[in-house]
């Protein structure tokens, strides 16, 4: 039986439109140590263009022991703290795969990382399982980078589906002028926000 390493990362945390995607990528300790992922060009998903990211996503699935991407709806994000949701679903990924060790991108300050990881561990079936978290770990850990690629790839596919119904809203992030223009247009035309919009985001109050 191989020792297994799990990487966890998200895509879409800061967007005002669309779900949050949380990816889990499972690999054997042996493949993790001999850099099979590096050989495929795995790196922080933000450094890859969409076409390359999708190509790598297909390749890493072939060498994975397992992978899973969870979609968290805007309604749930409006109802709960986004950190609480990431803690809950990170634990679900860990319980699904039961790895020997997990690396994850912790979306908290350095001082809060220990508490964040402990909160996940509290929900895990195996309390002795080791969780290692850090800020921006997708840029320093190859398994987390692989998870980030899967999560971002799934988000991009889903955004294309949403645009067929709702029109071109850009990237869905508040920094995108196309997204802001679309929000203004929708509000003026419809009077209320569609289900794809995160309603508690400050962005909407600024419009």
Total domains in the fold of the chain: 1
- First-residue to last-residue Cα distance in the chain: 55
Exposed, middle or buried by CB within 10 Å (0-12, 13-18, 19+), for 33? exposed
The answer to whether residue 179 sits within a structural domain is no
The answer to whether residue 203 sits within a structural domain is no
Domain that residue 27 falls in = 4-164
pLDDT-derived band at 1 (thresholds 50, 70, 90) equals low
Per-residue pLDDT tens over the stretch 90-108: 999 999 999 999 999 999 9
Q: How many CA atoms lie within 13 A of 118 on its CB side?
A: 5
Spatial distance between the Cα atoms of 119 and 137, rounded to a whole number of angstroms: 18
Whether pLDDT at 116 is above 90 = yes
The answer to whether residue 196 sits within a structural domain is no
The answer to whether residue 184 sits within a structural domain is no
DSSP state letters, 86-154: HHHHHHHHHHHH--SEEEEE--S-GGGHHHHHHHHHHT-S-TTSEEEEETTGGGT-HHHHHHHHHHHHH
Any idea what the Cα angle at residue 116 is, between residues 113 and 117, rounded to 5°? 85
Higher-scoring residue by pLDDT: 166, 34 = 166
The answer to whether residue 153 sits within a structural domain is yes
Q: Specify whether the CB–CB gap between 117 and 110 falls below 8 A.
A: no
Q: What is the CATH number of the domain that holds 56?
A: 3.30.420.10
- pLDDT at 168 (0 to 100): 97
The answer to whether residue 58 sits within a structural domain is yes
The answer to whether residue 204 sits within a structural domain is no
Higher-scoring residue by pLDDT: 32, 152 = 152
Per-residue pLDDT tens over the stretch 44-88: 777 777 788 888 889 999 989 999 999 999 999 999 999 999 999
Instruction: Produce one character per residue of 12-21: b if its CB has 16 or more CB atoms within 10 Å, e if not.
Output: bbebbbbbbb
Per-residue pLDDT tens over the stretch 117-168: 999 999 999 988 999 999 999 889 999 999 999 999 999 999 999 999 999 9
Run of H or E including 38: helix 36-39
The answer to whether residue 199 sits within a structural domain is no
Spatial distance between the Cα atoms of 106 and 104, rounded to a whole number of angstroms: 6
Sign of the Cα torsion 73, 75, 78, 79 reads negative
What's the pTM value of the predicted model, to 2 decimals?
0.93
């Amino acid at each position: 039986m191989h020792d297994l390493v799990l990487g966890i990362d998200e895509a879409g945390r800061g967007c005002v439109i669309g779900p949050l995607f949380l990816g889990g990528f499972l690999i054997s300790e042996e493949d993790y140590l001999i850099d099979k992922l590096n050989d495929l060009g795995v790196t922080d998903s933000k450094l890859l263009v969409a076409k390359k990211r999708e190509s790598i996503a297909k390749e890493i699935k072939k060498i994975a022991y397992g992978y899973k991407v969870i979609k968290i709806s805007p309604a749930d994000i409006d109802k709960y703290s986004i950190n609480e949701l990431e803690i809950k679903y990170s634990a679900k990924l860990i319980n699904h795969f039961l790895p020997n060790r997990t690396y994850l991108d912790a979306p908290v300050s350095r001082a809060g990382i220990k508490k964040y990881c402990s909160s996940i561990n509290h929900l895990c079936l195996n309390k002795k399982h080791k969780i290692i978290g850090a800020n921006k770990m997708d840029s320093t850990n190859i398994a987390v980078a692989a998870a980030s690629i899967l999560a971002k790839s799934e988000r991009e596919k889903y955004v294309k589906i949403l645009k067929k119904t709702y029109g071109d809203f850009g990237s869905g992030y508040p920094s995108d002028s196309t997204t802001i223009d679309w929000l203004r247009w929708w509000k003026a035309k419809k009077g209320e926000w569609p289900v794809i919009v995160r309603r508690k985001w400050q962005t909407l109050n600024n419009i």
